[in-house]
Amino acid sequence: MDRLGGAGFLTDNRDTAPFTRDWLNNYGAPPLGVARPASTEDVAATVGIAQTHGLVVVPQGGNTGLNGGSVLGDGQQGIVLSLGRMNRILSIDTLGLTATVEAGVALGTLHEVLADQGLGFPLHLGSEGSAQIGGLVATNAGGSHAFRFGMMGDLVLGLEVVLSDGRVWNGLRSLVKDNAGYSLRRLFCGAEGTLGIVTKAVLRLRPAERARATALLALESLEDALEVGQRVRGDAGETLAALEFFPEAGLALALKHIPELRRPFETPYPFYLLAELATSVEAAPVDAVLETCLGHALEAGSVGDALIASNGTQRTAFWRLREEMPEGQRLEGPQLKHDVSVPVSSLPAFVAEAITAVNAVLPGVCVNPFGHLLDGNVHFNLSPPQGCSGFEGLEKGLTEAVYEATTRHQGSIAAEHGLGQAKVDLADRFRPTVERELMTRIKLALDPDGRLNRGKVVRA
């Protein structure tokens, strides 16, 4: 590892500590070292050395994942390969609307640089200050704007990837249309670094937004939220940029633990809906369209109360209510997170069924189901029952109850966070045999020794 230099390969426990455990401190065995390459060639050389010594290589971006995908599994001999030093924005094509970046660029940094040029990259998620492009590609990240603009894989035009044998695949194309063979790019997106290590990406940009309009709605039920959401989608059409739902349980946790947040409506309602319209057309009347949306929804009688943000400060305040919920729940104490999706029309039935199911396992368990309405994507997060300090050892049963309900509704047990090591055994249990076998064959075809992020996504 000499070629990486002193700062490029860390072995001292104090130095490796920040790279060893995952974001939630649930996963991560000590690595033999942390490689911090500064170039694709260094990444390739590191993988080559790992191959020589029979070591597992765990690629790591911002280490913001929730399923232990970016840290070593228990009992594994291996190294963490952090991409954080490869953090250059290599080029921005303002005519072709593409950016070529290294894997270690933080999403928030990219947003800032693009904003200065009147451009945007339409991926938005809570961890964007730390999350890095390489990790976002590897996990095919989603977020609040995915139903309009797509997930990370939809926003990637080209990739450079270091393969399990240390060779480099240069697929750094800036093409919207490319059908010259299998879509390797799409295969690497969401493969969680188990098929190759993403070192660079060509991203598809958008003209910056010129106007936004944001409302917060109070609703009696998730059924009503879905009905209202459908109306809003019908009226807002292509300008609809986000439609986020969250329950009073989650709002209460955020208000309790984050003092500067304020309750938006005088009285609590069972559910809330954050709707945002956005446009890059100068003359598009998104404010008027939003008023039409709300007018129709209020007429139909399914909205309890509604607020429109009249300025950026109010908009930010609405979004903070939604985005600080995970932090509020974290500060409350132990929690069990689930990131699932179901067909949109099954969302209310699924949530009701899952609530019943987890209560059968642990009566009184506190349920905070929130997420992205039109993706059918629910973060079905649990806190212990009132007055309890934990889940009484019932974590496994609770999680299985959630995933069984998900599977009954033809849903996915990993919507936007990936499988990591947390869900790989459960995924194997819930996926059809044929599917598991196809994935295993792909893993073996591209990484026959299981060198790359072993034990994630699929057991080979």
Render 304-359 in DSSP notation, one character per residue.
Answer: SEEEE--SHHHHHHHHHHHHTHHHHHHHHS--B--EEE--GGGHHHHHHHHHHHHH
Count, residues near a copy of itself per rule CB under 8 A:
96
Using the rule CB under 8 A, is 180 a contact of a copy of itself? yes
Site for a copy of itself in 283-312 (CB under 8 A): 283-285, 288-289, 292
Select 210 or 408, whichever has its Cβ closest to a copy of itself.
Answer: 210
Using the rule CB under 8 A, is 280 a contact of a copy of itself? yes
Using the rule CB under 8 A, is 163 a contact of a copy of itself? yes
Choices 49-57, 163-171, 216-224, 258-266; region in contact with a copy of itself by CB under 8 A: 163-171
* Count of other CB atoms within 10 angstroms of residue 304: 18
Using the rule CB under 8 A, is 90 a contact of a copy of itself? no
Select 144 or 383, whichever has its Cβ closest to a copy of itself.
Answer: 144
Choices 73-81, 106-114, 146-154, 250-258; region in contact with a copy of itself by CB under 8 A: 146-154
Using the rule CB under 8 A, is 92 a contact of a copy of itself? no
Contact with a copy of itself (CB under 8 A): which of 399, 427, 451, 452?
A: 427
Site for a copy of itself in 341-380 (CB under 8 A): 341-345, 372, 374-377
Q: What residue type is 195 in one-letter code?
A: L
Q: What are the b/e assignments for 279-289, b being 16+ CB within 10 Å?
A: beeeebebeeb
Site for a copy of itself in 115-134 (CB under 8 A): none
> In what helix (H) or strand (E) does residue 107 lie, and over which residues does it extend?
helix 107-115
Using the rule CB under 8 A, is 386 a contact of a copy of itself? no
Instruction: Identify the CA nearest to 141 among candidates 130, 152, 150.
Output: 152
Between vectors from CA 83 to CA 56 and to CA 452, what angle results, nearest 5°?
20
Using the rule CB under 8 A, is 205 a contact of a copy of itself? no
Select 16 or 239, whichever has its Cβ closest to a copy of itself.
Answer: 239
43: its two tokens? 């990444």
Render 345-404 in DSSP notation, one character per residue.
Answer: GGHHHHHHHHHHHHHHHSTT-EEEEEEEGGGTEEEEEEE--TT-SS-TT-HHHHHHHHHH
Using the rule CB under 8 A, is 262 a contact of a copy of itself? no
179: its two tokens? 């059908």
* Count of other CB atoms within 10 angstroms of residue 415: 23
Select 72 or 146, whichever has its Cβ closest to a copy of itself.
Answer: 146
Using the rule CB under 8 A, is 72 a contact of a copy of itself? no
